[in-house]
Structure 1
Amino acid sequence: MATKRLIYFSAAELRVYRRTRSALASEARFSADEAGIEAFRGFLGRHRGALFYVVADLAGEDFHEDQIPFLRGAERRTVIERRLAQRYRDTRLAAAISLGVVKDERRNERLLLASFTNAQQFTPWLDALAEAGTKLAGVFSVPMLAPALAARLAGRQARCLVVSVDRAGLRQSFIDNGRLRFARLEPTVNLAPDALALFVRSETARLAQYLGTLRVLPRDGTPLKVLVVAPRGERARFEQALLSDAHLEFVTTELPEAQGRVGLRSAPQDSFAETLYLHLAARIPPKEQFAKREERRGYLLWQLQRAVAAAGIAGLAACALYAGVIWVDILSVRGQIDIQQRESRNAADRYASITRTFPVTQTTTDNLKATVNEFRKIAARSASPEGTLAHLSAVLEQFPEFELDNLTWQIGKTDAPESRANAAATRAKPAATVDQSVELLEINGRVNAAQRSDYREITEKVERFAEALGSNPAYRVVRTRLPFDVASEGTLTGDVGAQETGEAPRFTIVLAKRLP
């Protein structure tokens, strides 16, 4: 990870700090004159290409609220640049801080335009950074970092004042809903601790009165919370001098405690609250800053290189992970192959041991296999009465009045000769006879639930039963013998039905099914 160097720029001097993880160490100090600029150039020559953050703590700051139409992208940047050019002559160090959207009939965005009244004092220092090819992350001011400090000292507040004693003087920043609204810097001129505490009290009251005249503070009487960062060992004096009243509520935090809250573990002993802002600039830099995109080109290219390198490392890690998964799968497949090969060898050994116990035959194993296959085919083509009986059973479910006496199943041909008497008693049915073997099922039974003398009803029932048996395309009715002799060769006398025995009328049906 690149070492970050933080530049603290004040009216009197320029200090360079080196940040390593969560510690700040003083590295160099340069006076604000030509000699200091030359010395600074020599310092940059020894650290060419380094990463720098600039934090300015100057009294000559200008803040102006403005509104622009709610825009996005390039149009918004164009409008902001136009407003900055209208407000300031030198826009090299000018920024616009968004204060949110105004919810009225016309949706506008509120902006806080910020710059320095004397931006020329930065020019030689920024030129030296550009000539040395450094990576400039940004140019920030202490007020820009005040909202982040307020959030770590007291959480998110609706309105508060952040007051800190810096090396440049007494810094006061007014925060409204987490956004900077106003800031000022007053020199302390080496005041004694007691005088410094009283000075903080008087200047805070003056600033609150000024904000009230601007109608920035509400008039509901709610006291304004003042977050004060006292120097080392001065908390007791500050708390004694800074007594809360109906307008101001003071919350005093000593510098070491404040450093712990922002995550700064180590800082120079002779430093003041500026170390808090420097640490926040390197850790969580705000989105808005003063440097233009052209001045930050080296930093942006460095970020792009890091992103590409990170993407490459991530891709390499993903490829390595995928290769590891594939390698594990290969090892698993190899293990399965070994297991299958062992099982195959064991099966072959068992088969060989079993075949050795077979009796010696006069033919080969292949001939035996062919014989078994042919036997299975013959068995599959062998006739069985099971299917025909199942068909008969299904039809009998529809005719409960029929009772079977006996069934005769055989393999035969449908063109077998019949006696003349049988031919005369058989009701002719259209059925093609083929000279081939078929399954023949002779069904002998009787018809119950009908009067013996009702010839027509009995005949119709037997015929319907025969039609039901022949409704399946696999079967056909070869012969049907009705209970009565209705052939034209018979003699019909007047005493038909006189000799009734009381038995149910009997019938005979021969059903044929083609062999498979």
Structure 2
Amino acid sequence: MLTRYLHYLDQEGLTSYRSAGGRLAFVARHATGAEGVATFSQWLQTADKTTHTLLANLADEGFQNDSIPYVAGSDRKALITRKLAQQFHASPYVTSLSLGREREGRRDERILYTGITRPGALDPWLTELQGREAALNALYTPALLTQALLGLLRPEVPQGLIVSFCRAGIRQTYFEQGSLRFSRLSPAPEGDFSSWGEACLRETQKTLQYLSGQRWITRNTRLPVWLLLARQDFAPLLAAVEQAAQLEFHLVNLNTLCQAIGHREQLTNSDSQPLLMRLALRESRAPQLAPEASRRIHRFRQARQLIFALGVLAGLALGLSALKHYMDGRELQQQRSQLLAEIQSENLRYQQLLASLPAQPAPLDSLRSVVEAEARLHTRAIPPQAALLPLSKSLERFPDIELLQLEWDAGDAASTTSPARLVLNISAALPVAAASDPRTALQRIQAFFADLRPRVNELVLQEQPFDAESDKTLRSDAETLRKRPEFKLRLAISKERP
């Protein structure tokens, strides 16, 4: 169970509470002065080593609005630090809030500087916390919790005043566009909260005059005011403030707000201290006033917790990774065993099939090489029609030429180095009548040769029917006239067509 300490500081002293399991339990009360600081120091010696949060509800609180040139990064931080030192030169308990950029001119950034103007009210308590190495995570004021309070109220107007009661006095907080602009704590009147109506009206009218003087509102503007009260105090407070001019009061049930943030006890009066303490415990991103030196132990614990958390995450990730690798390895081992069993079964089946086959005429390796050579032959060989088709086209153009004999040779088609090649050896003849005119017969053969030549890769006229040398005369004897003029060609086709 997460345990934290919350210390509530007002003008009467410091009250310590212990937060555990969603409940706030009173621990100790330390009065203002040296005696109270001494009892607080003794209590810190026995307190749990956990986180401490300090909520200071004091009247010594200053607010300054200013504008700075729009810069970012380290330049902005240095500029704001210098401005804080000028505004609150004697106090280390300071911070700043950005109010957005101006709409006109250079569009400078509007900054609210706030801090504790009397640091002596805080120094003894923070000195003890730092001396006992207590982990202080934040120093809040009720004004710095305005953003969280507005998240509960959800006002529908851009500006207004929130009034709350506590034993320290009447707290009035002015907001504008969802951001804190000003807050003041006036002394507490005598009597019960139900009798504080007149004092509340008087102090609210003072705040109204101050806002008008600062020109944050015009003189004719009706200012909405939210009163945080217990339901039993609605009637007496409303009766005292309902006749106020320029003020528009809205009553808010304090119990409803407390229950919305997890406070389980029912409030019996209009004291807003439980609400403020719950908001302080719940808030983690609100601006706070504790200097870095006072938060050093908290920073160390955060770093240690972060390292521990990263170590746990790393260990968990490594464990999950190891488990995944183990499961993957186990699955692979199962797959390997299954594959080995399948391989053994297939080998056994293969051996049984071999045993059932008749005896082979040659060894299996020799048959395999023959089959592979035959496959390569079919893959690389050129079909005869690749050469017969161009030959048939030329024969159709020369019907007087008769094909007598044709032989084809595919070469070494099984070779992987020599190119595939198909060779046709052709024997053909002209009609017998062509023998009477040798010159015309040779011209006819040359024409057939010229027609076939473009369709093949290689074409050679190997033999002619007549001797056609240039120094001899073409003549025909009686025997030659009775024979058909025959000639021979060699035709070649390769994979690469011209």
TM-score, normalization by structure 1: 0.77
**Counterpart Cα distance in 1 of 2:245 and 2:393:** 104
- Residues 136-183 of structure 1 show CA distances to partners (whole Å, capped at 9, x for unaligned) of 112111111122101221257521211111231211100112221111
| Structure 1 counterpart of 2:385 | 389
Q: Look up the SS of the partner of 2:63 in the other structure.
A: strand
In structure 2, the CA distance between the partners of 1:348 and 1:266, relative to structure 1 (3 Å rule), is farther
Q: Look up the SS of the partner of 1:129 in the other structure.
A: helix
Q: 1:375 aligns with which of 370, 375, 399?
A: 370
Q: CA deviation at 1:401?
A: 4.5
Q: Is the 8 A contact 1:25 1:267 kept in 2?
A: no
Matched to 1:387, the amino acid is P
Matched to 1:388, the amino acid is P
Q: Superposed, which structure 2 residues align to 1:332-481 within 5 Å?
A: 332-359=331-358, 368-376=363-371, 379=374, 387-393=383-389, 401=397, 409-410=406-407, 439-442=423-426, 462-471=448-457, 476-479=458-461
Q: Superposed, which structure 2 residues align to 1:191-210 within 5 Å?
A: 191-210=191-210
In structure 2, the CA distance between the partners of 1:122 and 1:412, relative to structure 1 (3 Å rule), is closer
**Counterpart Cα distance in 2 of 1:380 and 1:184:** 102
Q: Look up the SS of the partner of 1:191 in the other structure.
A: coil
| Structure 2 counterpart of 1:93 | 93
Q: Look up the SS of the partner of 2:293 in the other structure.
A: coil
Q: Is the 8 A contact 2:91 2:116 kept in 1?
A: no
1:290 aligns with 2:289: yes
Matched to 2:384, the amino acid is T
Structure 1, 377-386 or 77-86: larger mean CA deviation:
377-386
- Residues 53-85 of structure 1 show CA distances to partners (whole Å, capped at 9, x for unaligned) of 111111122222233333334443433333333
In structure 2, the CA distance between the partners of 1:246 and 1:331, relative to structure 1 (3 Å rule), is farther
Q: CA deviation at 1:38?
A: 1.5
1:212 aligns with 2:212: yes
Matched to 2:386, the amino acid is A
Structure 1, 136-145 or 399-408: larger mean CA deviation:
399-408
Q: CA deviation at 1:387?
A: 2.3
Structure 1, 71-80 or 24-33: larger mean CA deviation:
71-80
In structure 2, the CA distance between the partners of 1:339 and 1:461, relative to structure 1 (3 Å rule), is farther
**Counterpart Cα distance in 2 of 1:170 and 1:337:** 81
Q: Is the 8 A contact 1:399 1:465 kept in 2?
A: no
Q: Superposed, which structure 2 residues align to 1:42-441 within 5 Å?
A: 42-47=42-47, 49-154=49-154, 157-218=157-218, 223-231=222-230, 233-239=232-238, 241-243=240-242, 247-266=246-265, 272-359=271-358, 368-376=363-371, 379=374, 387-393=383-389, 401=397, 409-410=406-407, 439-441=423-425
Q: Look up the SS of the partner of 1:340 in the other structure.
A: helix
**Counterpart Cα distance in 1 of 2:395 and 2:250:** 105
Structure 1, 320-329 or 121-130: larger mean CA deviation:
320-329
Matched to 1:477, the amino acid is L
**Counterpart Cα distance in 2 of 1:400 and 1:266:** 116
Identical-pair percentage? 25
In structure 2, the CA distance between the partners of 1:170 and 1:412, relative to structure 1 (3 Å rule), is closer
Q: Is the 8 A contact 2:466 2:474 kept in 1?
A: no
| Structure 2 counterpart of 1:425 | none
Question: Unaligned 5+ residue runs, structure 2?
Answer: 412-420, 431-438, 477-484
Q: Look up the SS of the partner of 2:338 in the other structure.
A: helix
**Counterpart Cα distance in 1 of 2:128 and 2:429:** 123
Q: CA deviation at 1:491?
A: 4.5
- Residues 276-327 of structure 1 show CA distances to partners (whole Å, capped at 9, x for unaligned) of 2222222223442221111111111111112222222222222223223322
Q: Look up the SS of the partner of 1:332 in the other structure.
A: helix
Matched to 1:333, the amino acid is L
In structure 2, the CA distance between the partners of 1:259 and 1:285, relative to structure 1 (3 Å rule), is same
- Residues 194-235 of structure 1 show CA distances to partners (whole Å, capped at 9, x for unaligned) of 42234333432332232112101256x553332221035323
**Counterpart Cα distance in 2 of 1:121 and 1:24:** 25
Q: Look up the SS of the partner of 1:91 in the other structure.
A: coil
- Residues 455-493 of structure 1 show CA distances to partners (whole Å, capped at 9, x for unaligned) of 99966752333322443xxxx324378999977667589
Structure 1, 376-385 or 148-157: larger mean CA deviation:
376-385
Structure 1, 54-63 or 82-91: larger mean CA deviation:
82-91
1:15 aligns with 2:15: yes
Q: Is the 8 A contact 2:134 2:297 kept in 1?
A: yes
Q: Is the 8 A contact 1:149 1:262 kept in 2?
A: no
Q: Is the 8 A contact 2:55 2:140 kept in 1?
A: yes
| Structure 2 counterpart of 1:511 | 491
Q: CA deviation at 1:258?
A: 0.6
In structure 2, the CA distance between the partners of 1:459 and 1:276, relative to structure 1 (3 Å rule), is farther
**Counterpart Cα distance in 2 of 1:507 and 1:218:** 125
In structure 2, the CA distance between the partners of 1:345 and 1:217, relative to structure 1 (3 Å rule), is same
Q: CA deviation at 1:184?
A: 0.9
Matched to 1:278, the amino acid is M
Matched to 2:356, the amino acid is T
Matched to 2:216, the amino acid is V
**Counterpart Cα distance in 2 of 1:158 and 1:27:** 40
| Structure 2 counterpart of 1:34 | 34
Q: How many residues align?
A: 468
**Counterpart Cα distance in 2 of 1:438 and 1:387:** 8
- Residues 395-439 of structure 1 show CA distances to partners (whole Å, capped at 9, x for unaligned) of 87899846797685435799xxxxxxxxxxxxxxxxxxxxxx984
Q: Is the 8 A contact 1:466 1:509 kept in 2?
A: no
Matched to 2:251, the amino acid is T
Matched to 1:389, the amino acid is Q
| Structure 2 counterpart of 1:430 | none
Q: CA deviation at 1:97?
A: 2.7
Q: Look up the SS of the partner of 1:387 in the other structure.
A: coil
- Residues 85-108 of structure 1 show CA distances to partners (whole Å, capped at 9, x for unaligned) of 333342222233332333554453
Q: Is the 8 A contact 1:223 1:249 kept in 2?
A: yes
Structure 1, 394-403 or 309-318: larger mean CA deviation:
394-403
In structure 2, the CA distance between the partners of 1:407 and 1:186, relative to structure 1 (3 Å rule), is farther
Matched to 2:227, the amino acid is V
Structure 1, 297-306 or 185-194: larger mean CA deviation:
185-194
Matched to 1:132, the amino acid is R
In structure 2, the CA distance between the partners of 1:166 and 1:8, relative to structure 1 (3 Å rule), is same
